[in-house]
A and B are shown apart, each in its own frame.
Chain A
């Protein structure tokens, strides 16, 4: 019986995929591409993504000073209290106006898009998995 419930749970979780879950999966993939740890401390500073926090098991949501990576749409995301240099923008405007952004997740030409900044990756000494190569610019 327990197995049947597990089966139903898995099926429904597959069928119940929604926008928030997809956004979280994308941020999770980005975080794991940039930070090579099983569990990653993440700070999210974007009110549009606040409601994503319940959707990941491998990302732990913390304040900026404890984060391995910061996802931000605001200038405050670059607070000096942040120890990490891995700052990933969730706003195209911020990405294009700040050279310290490692990359960005935003909508472009009617589609969601991610970009990694080559210069910043080199500066931080990060090698991305091969399947992310086409997103480096």
Chain B
């Protein structure tokens, strides 16, 4: 009887396999999933990885990076008082790139003065991005030599995988519009990808005392890539104009507050034919022109007569930045191990071109104008046996600072163990390292008339482990992590300077994720996480328990592709919980024309931000609460493939 059942099963499976083999559409769909570009770029051993594949992004019709941020465990999407994407925003605190770093291919998007690239990219179109890899929990130096809790790597589309020309246009609520187009081809000895977009982003309008608080942004983006077997040349130009939302007005009544910026990038990437040597050189030139005006003071100018200060009502800061980033790595392979050696230099120069208050030039009170970081790192990967491997990495970063600011040498180590068999993987990592104060924090402190003293680097260690079970259709994972942070750097509004906290911050985090493939094209994802945070502040408010998660369903209904997702966040200090429901419907009208309808934050219950301002003369506090960082938006768009 058992024999008959087994034979029956065998025949049924063989039949199924034969039927599958005959269905060319199913085979192509399977190959699209299994040979996604991320399969070739991801580094599974580098940390805890979350991938948004090309198929995911296409089906979500992702309009901007902020949609993905809210699906990352332990991160709550937020926007700062200038309306820019900044998940860790706290009033008066500057952006800290050590929390999230953004890369496009092998280039980090970083502004020494304004923080990580999320502020530029967070709300821009991303139709030139093929897939996104998110490494959480202080990943390998190979991913990011300067450590960060979360590293987001965006990989561009390539000529080799596109071979087409596309034009897209869409419109959304509040008058938002997008246009983009690209052409890409795989030629005989090289491939190219040329892309351009224009976004006129209109956000929900808010008012305070009759003053418009606008978060509108208009951006143009051009990206080009030329790739051969061993080389990749890249060029990118972004030009944008943004309203500054609250600006720096003491009572949140900005009258004409805008930032214009230009970002230019050129880079070259080399990979040897055997892939053992990689080198890249990236040059970025960026100009920022910030203007703010208000009928309330924006700040105080020191003067020589009593009361020794005078408020100013307009403020203009125009500056430019040069970043030169060079890196070379060499991988040595042995029979049971490999050794990766890397050297990197990042030179960041920032120059103030114009600084006026009340249209009067402000003398520069600091000569600090560059930071140069020379880094070396190694990663030794040893295979104990077929199932177990050990990883030992270490890094040394030497910081040279301009303007007489003290430099520093910091060290980091990372230990890892990975167990892997056909269905189960266990990854465990220990990290110890330091986060250097940002050039912005150093400049603010250096500009003060009274020297606040040297800022110590933040010191962190983290221990974590993740279990992953992979069956044919089901992937389940469970992550535990403890992170400890000392010398936390924060802005003290009273002194107007950055200081080190004496408190110890302890974060205990757990994340559970399930992904189940319903069939070749459909899947359902579930994530739930909780983070116990001990801020070491006052006894009454030192503990926070944050939690969140999401459920997402990708499903084909006939020829209509559907995406449904609901994201949840709760437990944030003085902030209400948020539920963000998104839906996307895509319909291929013909072989060349496709249409889509997308709704974001349809319940209008997504996470919200609170803002406040303190008038230091009167101590009057102005607040703006429950500002939705995800507008309720409906998009309608089409894409034409030539």
Contact = CB atoms under 8 A, between A and B. Distances in A.
Task: Answer yes or no: are A and B bound together in one complex.
Answer: yes
B161 A14 contact: no
Interface in A1-16: 3-4, 6-7, 10-11, 13-15
Given A4-B6, A92-B186, A110 B37 contact: yes
Nearest to B639: A109
Interface stretch (A18-26, A61-69, A79-87, A117-125): A18-26
Interface in A96-137: 106-114, 131-132, 135
Contacts, number: 96
B164 interface: yes
Interface in B42-65: 54-55, 58
B641 to A, nearest CB: 7
B28 interface: yes
Nearest to A135: B24
Interface-centre pick from A18, A23, A108 (highest chain B CB count, 10 A) = A108
B425 interface: no
Contact of A109 (B23, B27, B162): B162
Interface of A: 3-4, 6-7, 10-11, 13-15, 17-19, 22-23, 25-26, 28-30, 91-93, 106-114, 131-132, 135
Given A11-B13, A107-B160, A110-B54, A29 B185 contact: no
Interface in B17-46: 17, 21-25, 27-28, 30-32, 34-35, 37, 39
A107 B161 contact: yes
Nearest to B473: A15
B6 A92 contact: no
B157 interface: yes
Which 8 A-B pairs rank lowest in CB-CB distance, beginning with the nearest?
Answer: A107-B161, A92-B163, A110-B54, A22-B31, A19-B35, A108-B163, A112-B31, A111-B32
B572 interface: no
Contacts of A110: 32, 37, 54-55, 58, 130, 157, 161-162
Interface string B455-472: 000000000000000001
What is the predominant secondary structure among interface residues of chain B facing chain A?
helix
Contact of B24 (A10, A93, A114): A114
Interface residues of B, number: 40
Given A4-B6, A14-B13, A92-B163, A112 B28 contact: yes
Contacts of A28: 21
Interface in B164-191: 164, 166, 185-188
10 contacts: A3-B6, A10-B14, A10-B17, A13-B17, A22-B34, A26-B31, A107-B161, A109-B166, A110-B130, A114-B28
B35 A22 contact: yes
A135 B13 CA distance: 28
Chain B CB within 10 A, most for which of A4, A13, A30, A112: A112
B163 A26 contact: no
B186 A26 contact: no
Contacts of B386: none
A18 B641 CA distance: 30
Contacts of B188: 93
A91 B32 CA distance: 17
A84 to B, nearest CB: 21
Contacts of A10: 10, 13-14, 17
A10 B16 CA distance: 11
A30 B7 CA distance: 30
B27 A25 contact: yes
Contacts of B28: 26, 111-114
A108 to B, nearest CB: 5
